Structure 1
């Protein structure tokens, strides 16, 4: 195939990916950009959750008692996290009573925000509602039941092709590659925006598309993760780990045993589950954790587990603990594709107009030749 033929082929791929997927790309991009700052967004939308009265701490058992006051009778506490910074609340997460009846999918949970100084409940909410949760559902599945996650994954694959074809089309056909960085490559502002923004966002967008596809198809990348694929943490029947309804050890006893083997401020407690009947205690300023067996109270210090590749890919995708620079990059990587989709549609619509005019002039000339 000639160079011109190759360029035309890439142009068709790039054009039709953009036109067909524009309706999906815009909500995926906008929600992805917003979710980079989901903590700040939650502070703005739900200020009552962060209206703490001080930085003093109460015994953990008081927070558990306060949380149980707003939880249903069948709810099972899964974790308790103390504030990571001054002014932040204590957060208790519980699996809801309906979790035990589920057979697959993410378990419904309830989160309780508690004032650390007074143990007063500030707010509580289920995992299935709220604006931020809706953004997560749009970004993860486009609100399509059943196959939504796979649809989003294939959109990610298509975006990989769009990035590659876009770079091919951006490369100047005449002169050095630096000519492509000029602003005025075309007389129309939208076309110039499309060329220049597309170039600068191509590499970050390629990374975001790749990690998004990875998240959507964990079974495909199971070998790369060092496992057999599928959803990590799932039970044989597809169910998720379920916190024990009545652990044998009381929280106070667990904390005492944990402090006996590793003195230090405990920042988080994970309750034992039916898959792993072990309490896990996070220690401040320590990469290690303490586990306490619920059966016999045996406690030991364990090193921080190595982060699985799947979790690393998710952090790259959403910016968690990736630093401000990368968070800004992926925020722009969320907004700019929406702009590229809009400018691409404008360019396509304009081309339809001048192509129609060209055909009309050709027909007019042909008729004039026949008449003469």
Structure 2
């Protein structure tokens, strides 16, 4: 009887090995990538969950600056600039941004004058000063967005900002597409690599979770009364499957921010088109010193007419540097569907205007693309999918909660690994005790000890 049971168990074990020859390496990779790199991955994903509320945090922590009034005749950008420069001699405006009814006036020299002065768009009064590059949320952005390479944020690490040595010249021709960007930094390499790891963990999780059709419902159960291992194993599976769409979305978009091979692979898989290289738009230099700069108001008017922005709300303006004859006026309008609507810097319809010639304009419409594939990756991947800035703070709770799921996955994953490790150690200890007992019995009987089967 014992031999029959042993033979059946051996046949079952042989069948399992033959049935799943690839699954064991995938399990090993899934487990050890999570355990070895989990802390850094958790750092990136958790800070990412926090920074989706960066715009709201700025408003919550600067209540006085964002105390605004309504008006049928709101203050223009040029009026706001004049008000700030009159109140603060020596201050030179470089850009203006409209957020939550406050006109944020930034200095041209942001090293000497960090942050912005707020002007109430309704009343035209200065509401106060705020610096979004300082404090808790700035540090969260430093980790998630820059990985310690933004020198404006606290926690800057110069070494991470150095360029990765290029290996493209050593690749065969058919692999040239996999060569990294020439300006890829170590921080970008780390962020992109962890994004790829996140995609692998999500995809391998689907495969390891997938039950047979006959037991499909078992993949969605949580056995709360079957002990810690069964409970945490089921929680890991169910939570992981619920989070897979978001984890894949963040992994793909995160890798696309850093690696140049993501876009061609996406276009090839979804029918997109590689966007043509564009020559940067610049103002024509003029030899006539008497030909003046057209000024902000005239540039806005040109953007609305020649740039076809129409009566769309103007939400951002960048002024040309005084000492750069080729610099332009740059504007963003919130026209049609603005995927940046609820972000700190809204506007999806961009118009650049020649500082000397209002008839020369250049349009960047982030609301349209050659194909749906291009629209998804080129225009929507950041604001709409990665950051959730196309929806208000209430809807962004979804991004926040799913951004925290890796914490639960880490806890349940480590718990099940420790439980299995504990069981394995107990089995090894019991096996050793049985072997020792068998040796003692053999000695007592005067026989040679025989090996005890495992």
Pick the TM interval, shorter chain. 0.7 to 0.9
Cα distance, 1:271 vs structure 2: 2.7
- Deviation per CA, 1:1-42: give whole Å up to 9, x if none: 733343322211111121112211222222211222322232
Structure 1 partner of 2:250: 208
Distance (Å, rounded) in 2 between the aligned partners of 1:341 and 1:277? 50
Change (3 A) 1:362 1:5: farther
What are the within-5 Å matches in structure 2 for residues 82-231 of structure 1? 82=98, 88-96=101-109, 98=111, 110-126=115-131, 128-143=133-148, 145-146=160-161, 147-172=186-211, 175-184=214-223, 187-188=227-228, 189-217=231-259, 219-221=260-262, 223=264, 226=274
Give aligned pairs, total: 346
Cα distance, 1:291 vs structure 2: 5.3
Change (3 A) 1:82 1:205: closer
Unmatched runs of 5 consecutive residues or more in structure 1: 100-107, 236-246
The TM-score with structure 2 as length reference comes to 0.65
Structure 2 partner of 1:57: 74
- Deviation per CA, 1:115-141: give whole Å up to 9, x if none: 123333334344532322211111124
Structure 1 partner of 2:154: none
The alignment status of 1:17 with 2:33, answered yes or no, reads yes
Residue 250 of structure 1, aligned match among 289, 295, 301? 295
Distance (Å, rounded) in 2 between the aligned partners of 1:353 and 1:328? 38
Change (3 A) 1:175 1:324: farther
Structure 1 partner of 2:53: 37
Distance (Å, rounded) in 2 between the aligned partners of 1:70 and 1:2? 79
Q: Given that residues 215 and 313 in structure 1 are in contact (C-alpha distance below 8 angstroms), is that contact kept between their aligned partners in structure 2?
A: no
RMSD across aligned positions (CA): 3.8
The alignment status of 1:362 with 2:431, answered yes or no, reads yes
Cα distance, 1:253 vs structure 2: 3.5
Distance (Å, rounded) in 2 between the aligned partners of 1:303 and 1:162? 36
Change (3 A) 1:71 1:181: farther
Q: Given that residues 77 and 103 in structure 2 are in contact (C-alpha distance below 8 angstroms), is that contact kept between their aligned partners in structure 1?
A: no
Change (3 A) 1:260 1:331: closer
Q: Given that residues 103 and 119 in structure 2 are in contact (C-alpha distance below 8 angstroms), is that contact kept between their aligned partners in structure 1?
A: yes
1:47 alignment partner, SS class: coil
- Deviation per CA, 1:305-340: give whole Å up to 9, x if none: 546634422121111226789744432320111110
Higher gyration radius (CA):
2
The TM-score with structure 1 as length reference comes to 0.77
Residue 279 of structure 1, aligned match among 312, 329, 334? 329
Q: Given that residues 42 and 407 in structure 2 are in contact (C-alpha distance below 8 angstroms), is that contact kept between their aligned partners in structure 1?
A: yes
- Deviation per CA, 1:52-106: give whole Å up to 9, x if none: 244452343221023436879485513x2445x6xx211234443559xxxxxxx
Change (3 A) 1:181 1:357: same
Change (3 A) 1:368 1:173: farther
Change (3 A) 1:352 1:72: farther
The alignment status of 1:26 with 2:42, answered yes or no, reads yes
Unmatched runs of 5 consecutive residues or more in structure 2: 1-16, 149-156, 162-185, 268-272, 282-291, 338-348, 442-454
Change (3 A) 1:183 1:164: same
- Deviation per CA, 1:151-203: give whole Å up to 9, x if none: 12111111111112212221236943222112228532333221210111122
Q: Given that residues 264 and 283 in structure 1 are in contact (C-alpha distance below 8 angstroms), is that contact kept between their aligned partners in structure 2?
A: no
Distance (Å, rounded) in 1 between the aligned partners of 2:34 and 2:279? 36
The alignment status of 1:267 with 2:309, answered yes or no, reads no
2:117 alignment partner, SS class: strand
Change (3 A) 1:336 1:184: same
- Deviation per CA, 1:229-254: give whole Å up to 9, x if none: 9xx9999xxxxxxxxxxx82222343
